[in-house]
Amino acid sequence: MRKRSTSRRSPRRKGINLSDIPEVSPEAFARGLVRKGLEPVARKAQVTLRIDADVIEWFRDRGRGYQTRINAVLKAFKDAHGRA
């Protein structure tokens, strides 16, 4: 019995059109694998919070991810002060 080759063939040879699928960069692919085997990330709660305009503007001026940075600052404060 003849063993099949394990080399991968191009999907185009099988008539599959992949032209509308965006290319995934190596960085994006790696980010998708980072969580594999790790504890699930804790869920976040959506809240309404009043923050001084100059504070929120300062975080926003630093670009995308400002809400994540605000969360990191609050978490660091919580961790530094322990349980009440």
Q: Does the global pTM surpass 0.95?
A: no
- φ/ψ of 40, rounded to 5, equals -65, 150
Backbone angles phi, psi at 71, to 5 degrees: -60, -40
Whole-number Å distance between alpha carbons of 5 and 10: 14
DSSP 3-state of 65: coil
pLDDT at 81 over 60: yes
pLDDT tens track for 53-78: 999 999 999 999 999 999 999 999 99
